[in-house]
Structure 1
Amino acid sequence: MTIALPPTVASHVPTGILVDGDWRPASSGRTFEVADPATTDTLFDVADGGERDALDALTAANAAFPVWRATPPRERSELLRAVFETLTARTEDVAALITAEGGKPLAESRAEVAYGADYVRWYAEEAVRFPGLARRAPAGSNHQLVLRRAVGPALLVTPWNFPIAMIARKVAPALAAGCTVVVKPARLTPLTTAFVAEIIRAELAERGLPTGVVNVVPSSSASSISTPLLADRRLRKLSFTGSTEVGAQLLAAAAPNILRTSMELGGNAPFLVFEDADIPAAVQGALAAKMRNSGQTCVAANRFLVHRSVAQEFTEGLAEAFRGLVVGHGAEPGTTVGPLIEQAAVDRVEEVVAQAVDAGARVHVGGERPRRTGYFYAPTVLDRVDPEHRIVTEEIFGPVAPVVTFGDEEEAIELANRTPFGLVAYAYTRDIGRVMRLADRVEAGMLGVNRGMVSDASAPFGGVKHSGLGREGGEAGLEEYLEPVYVAL
């Protein structure tokens, strides 16, 4: 089955490399295929950038930086506001592209467009509100003035699972701060990034602003882009979203040039359900926290830690909710669960589920691949799961919900913290005192209380421990692209 993109999208997707306002082929002439994970059909051949293309992009960003930094904040703000309005007006086009290359249902893709556009709007507003400080020194001998200025050209490396949200969450604050950027989109979903970059390019050109502000270098080899750029002293900032393993490698590569870094890395989110929880609400929250993009999100609930007194009710309710999900191509009406991104992802999910079952876990629903073309795995609920098993200790990145029981709050917190990751946690309870204890003791950068979603453009998104450094969103997201300058008067 082939589902065609709307003509308004198919004929306007750039497939080249964007350098200083021009879309061009890779210097090597090579391309790579981008496929629909629901059908395995090729959508487009995209320019396969390499070292020369990366350095050309950095040259353009570096040349544009002094002019862009000096551009009045109001002009930067108005540019971002125009991008927000265009994204909103073209929601259906962008959503269709997200679904085609990433597989998620159209309803989720539309929600992602709104979410990404909200970041652009937020930073359009923040661009004219740089923080600063003026005060008399405590000794009384002088005054202190603290200003903020743009860090410099930035390399932004985005993941495949949220192609518009991730470019918006990085590019919008960078541009608001006065930084120029080189974007390395994910190999699996570069098309949405290119589509959004073209919107920004067109706005820059129309306003007579330097077109080298935003550059995009797709590549089948991330290291062929990151290695030469991180070694180049003109680059001053790295923002990466992806696995902890790759993030650690990039941190090491960024160290010799002492780059500012932002790292949003792996997760292993606990979803805590206490004995006083509203169980139907917890089931709906679990569905939201687990099943966005078929479980392929860094903030997906990965471990369902449930008080033993309500474990049966919760597990049966969650299994029933999973049975009501509709697996299919994201563009098909009624689909609520799309495919995984590639065959390797399906193989890994199948492997960890099989190992859990072999170790004694019980399948309530799912536990198999649907018989259809594409990279699908059935929504799955397991209980009687050993908390030391891979399906609990590793990030699943698939539509699988393992349920582990606990006896009291202390055990729940110990289980929640039994991981090197600390991105987000979720908790369902009516006890406000417990909420505050969890906020104090659960090792995570974010905590969702009685809700299965935490992300918001106006709030700091990020984790602790092996889940990363820095924050995206809110005032903190702008600070990642600014450096303080202290003046003693």
Structure 2
Amino acid sequence: MLYINGEWREANSGKTLRVINPATGELIKEVAYGGAEETNEAIAAATSAFSTWKRRTGKERGQYLERVAQLLREKTDEIAIVMTSEMGKPLPEAHREIGIAIDYVDWYAEEAKRIYGETLTPSHTDKHLMVLREPVGVTAAITPWNFPIAMITRKLSPALAAGCTVILKPASATPLTAIKVFECFHEAELPKGVANLVIGSAAEIANEMTSNPEVKKITFTGSTEVGKKLIRDSAVQMKRVSMELGGHAPFIVFEDADLDLAVEGIMLTKFKNCGQTCISTNRIYVADKVAEEFGQKLAERVSKLTIGNGLEEGVDVGPLIDHKALEKVEEHVEDALLHKGTLLCGGKRVTKAGLPGSFYEPTVIQGANEAMKILTEETFGPVAPIISFSTEEEVIGKVNHKQYGLASYCYTKDLSRALRIMRELDYGIVGINDPTPIVAQAPFGGVKESGIGREGGKYGLEEYLEEKFVSIQI
């Protein structure tokens, strides 16, 4: 179903989208499949609602978000099952993601009351100078399938808190989770047109979003290639944009690091969500003095992971999102082995009975080198390549990716080294002995081709506000 101007409805054409369970290959449900026409109607609804929504107090907007957060809490079990069914992550991971999503709604429910202006010191005695912060306007959001609820609330919560109205286009692979979020918006009685959901043709919807002059801001999470196109299309009307794009995160392990702790860090940054996150570890740099020991420890730990349908108890790793993703992982592993990588564990599709979906064994490759695709391209799968290094200077010369700069990780017990590495890592996010640095109150985003703008904390709210300077002669 689409949700436009406070009403659930079908697509004008009657077209539907088949939502498939990647673990079983079975049809879950068919949903309405819209396009440019429905997007235009959603934009018109959001434009009409903006004039009144922006005038509500921050406290009022925050109260709506508080109700949404409470409804998400009440529906957590229900939403988790839907999420796991349509994108594959194990149920415990789905529950954790919903918790993160609620954190963002809670945070911005509070931040809605903290949109401050400023009074400036005048340069003339007969003037009074002020800076007002006002909502950007109608905002169009496009979200990915790998975090189908957290990405929605991380974008829509600050937009709504700031006084913007929104249109969401979720990933076609995971529309059911988005529908569940909008059910909460509906039950929270958000005014008509404030939040709108359009599922359907990515090309048609995005083109209408970027070309329609009523849309003042585009926010997108996804591939760098698509992000660049959205920026180009938005530039025609000079729309505000914020982009959270691709990543290629390095993970550095120095010889003085706690190796067991580092292994557990990789389990979280590489194999959660089957390696399908933009901040997943892509390259593991290990000091040569401990590289062999570390590889053995990691392979032993990875070999114990249970692969299966995320709805089943005890499953650690679910399926890749589809067979195209599976083929890319296969290609990267085959290329790594062709370039003299050593397979420590994994390395093939899972074809056992009862698992007909797109499953791939969690894989560790020792002896990775720069000739491999896996060290330059984003794999988006459960493959961990290990590269040895000799000195701090050497590894610093290797870890900074020419194209990407989203997340990075480093393990060491040496405080001075940690501070040096922190400064040298050319990434928007740095985790020192911390594999899970993302929190609602902190900025999330990258440098270089990993994105523009930040999400989270006060920084995320600022992305949806414009400054208006007022000079009053008195």
TM-score of the pair, normalised by structure 2:
0.97
CA-to-partner distance for each residue in 1:189-232, whole Å, 9 max, x for gaps? 0110111011112212xxxx52100100011x211101022111
Q: How does 1:404-483 map to 2 (within 5 A)?
A: 404-483=387-466
State the distance in 1 between where 2:344 and 2:124 align: 69
Task: Tell me which residue corresponds to 2:195.
Answer: 214
Task: Tell me which residue corresponds to 1:77.
Answer: 62
State the distance in 1 between where 2:132 and 2:256 align: 49
Shift of 1:441: 1.5
Q: How does 1:77-96 map to 2 (within 5 A)?
A: 77-96=62-81
State the distance in 2 between where 1:429 and 1:257 align: 48
The answer to whether the 8 A contact 1:32-1:46 is kept is yes
Task: Tell me which residue corresponds to 1:27.
Answer: 12
Pair 1:37-2:1 in alignment: no
Pair 1:229-2:209 in alignment: yes
* Counterpart AA for 1:464: V
Shift of 1:131: 2.7
* Counterpart AA for 1:279: L
Pair 1:280-2:263 in alignment: no
What is the CA RMSD across the aligned residues, in angstroms? 1.1
Shift of 1:141: 5.6
The answer to whether the 8 A contact 1:445-1:462 is kept is yes
* Counterpart AA for 1:234: E
State the distance in 2 between where 1:109 and 1:416 align: 31
Q: How does 1:356-395 map to 2 (within 5 A)?
A: 356-371=336-351, 372-395=355-378
Q: How does 1:7-406 map to 2 (within 5 A)?
A: 16-137=1-122, 142-204=127-189, 209-219=190-200, 221-371=201-351, 372-406=355-389
* Counterpart AA for 1:215: N
CA-to-partner distance for each residue in 1:345-391, whole Å, 9 max, x for gaps? 00110011011111111110000011131010000000111123101
CA-to-partner distance for each residue in 1:77-111, whole Å, 9 max, x for gaps? 11101111111122111111110101000000000
State the distance in 2 between where 1:240 and 1:469 align: 10
The answer to whether the 8 A contact 1:393-1:419 is kept is no
Task: Tell me which residue corresponds to 1:486.
Answer: 469
CA-to-partner distance for each residue in 1:131-182, whole Å, 9 max, x for gaps? 3211313565633311110000000000000011010001100000000001
State the distance in 1 between where 2:84 and 2:318 align: 9
Shift of 1:73: 1.1
**Which sections of structure 2, spanning at least 5 residues, go unmatched?**
none
State the distance in 1 between where 2:371 and 2:396 align: 15
* Counterpart AA for 1:37: P
* Counterpart AA for 2:194: V
For 2:54, what is the secondary structure of its paired residue? helix
State the distance in 2 between where 1:183 and 1:279 align: 43
Identify which range, 304-313 or 171-180, moves more after superposition.
304-313
* Counterpart AA for 1:210: P
Sequence identity percentage: 45
Shift of 1:119: 0.2
State the distance in 2 between where 1:330 and 1:89 align: 21
For 1:186, what is the secondary structure of its paired residue? coil
CA-to-partner distance for each residue in 1:273-326, whole Å, 9 max, x for gaps? 111111110000111111110000000001001111111121111111101110
The answer to whether the 8 A contact 1:103-1:341 is kept is yes
The answer to whether the 8 A contact 1:387-1:404 is kept is no
Shift of 1:57: 0.5
* Counterpart AA for 1:192: T
Identify which range, 431-440 or 245-254, moves more after superposition.
431-440
Shift of 1:461: 0.2
* Counterpart AA for 1:166: M
Shift of 1:414: 1.4
* Counterpart AA for 1:293: N
* Counterpart AA for 2:443: P
State the distance in 1 between where 2:33 and 2:25 align: 20
Q: 1:352 to 1:25 in 2, by over 3 A?
A: same
State the distance in 2 between where 1:403 and 1:131 align: 48
Q: How many residues align?
A: 469
CA-to-partner distance for each residue in 1:231-268, whole Å, 9 max, x for gaps? 11100000000000000000000001100100000000
* Counterpart AA for 2:283: R
The answer to whether the 8 A contact 1:28-1:50 is kept is no
Identify which range, 110-119 or 365-374, moves more after superposition.
365-374
State the distance in 1 between where 2:168 and 2:435 align: 30
For 2:271, what is the secondary structure of its paired residue? helix
State the distance in 2 between where 1:143 and 1:283 align: 59
CA-to-partner distance for each residue in 1:2-47, whole Å, 9 max, x for gaps? xxxxxxxxxxxxxx11110111111111111001000010101111
Q: 1:429 to 1:203 in 2, by over 3 A?
A: same
TM-score of the pair, normalised by structure 1:
0.94
| Structure 1: 4+ residue segments shifted above 2 A | 137-144
**Which sections of structure 1, spanning at least 5 residues, go unmatched?**
1-15
